[in-house]
Amino acid sequence: MTLDGALLQRFAVRLHVESYVRIVPRRHAATPLGMGLGKSRFSSPKNRFRLLYLAQDPTTAVAETIVRDRFEGASERLLLAEEFDIYAIVRIRNPVPLFLLDLRHEGASLLGVSTDAVRAKAQAAGRRLSQEIYDRTAFDGIVYMSRITNRPCVAVYDRAVDGRLEAGAPAVDLPRLASLPTIVKALHLTVVRTP
């Protein structure tokens, strides 16, 4: 993969993520900036770095973390209330803006990168791209659009988390989030409790 330096510069943005949120398992609520290796859209295919994902709004965070593709082909969108019980949500602050590659619009296409990297369910192209960005540039991460809600999300590389991001307040158990009923409605979910 060859990335054009002039185009990378064209799609470089400095972004404050003051209002962005992250959903974490409640067992990690005390360390909401923690990261692990995994298999996600922009994770390292070589397990060389970790990522922290942020969503611009709680609805997108719930869609990306909990809902995902689980209702594809389903006539009912039933979700057990207990699934919310295992998560917490936290607002993130960043005193220093993040230096990000902007793939929210035409960036991927003009860079000659498969649009699968940012929009497809299959994630291999995104992982390869991210490894190249991590290895060959100074970007703190990638800003892209959620393929579920079409709202901005950020994947922040581990090298940019310490000293640049902090929890805006203690994490809140997701069921206690005041806007959760609005989020459930926006995502067309029916929440049920097991008897």
Spatial separation of the C-alpha atoms in residues 164 and 145, rounded to whole Å: 22
Partners of 173 in the β-ladder: 88
* Length of the chain, in residues: 195
For residue 54, name the pLDDT band (cuts at 50, 70, 90).
very high
Give residue-wise pLDDT tens across range 17-34. 988 999 999 999 999 999
Alpha-carbon distance values, 164 to 16, 126, 156, 167, 172 (Å): 10, 24, 10, 11, 22
Residue extents of the structural domains in the chain = 5-73+90-170
Spatial separation of the C-alpha atoms in residues 73 and 83, rounded to whole Å: 21
Q: Quick check: pTM over 0.75? A: yes
pLDDT at 70: 84
For the chain, the helix, strand and coil percentages under 3-state DSSP, each to the nearest 5: 30, 25, 45
For tokens 């609805």, the residue is: 59
Per cent of the chain over pLDDT 70 is 97
Are 118 and 145 in contact, with CB atoms under 8 Å apart?
yes
Give residue-wise pLDDT tens across range 158-178. 999 988 999 988 999 999 999
Spatial separation of the C-alpha atoms in residues 115 and 126, rounded to whole Å: 9
State the DSSP string of 66-112: IITTTTTT-S--EEEHHHHHTEEEEEEE-SS-EEEEE-SSSHHHHTT
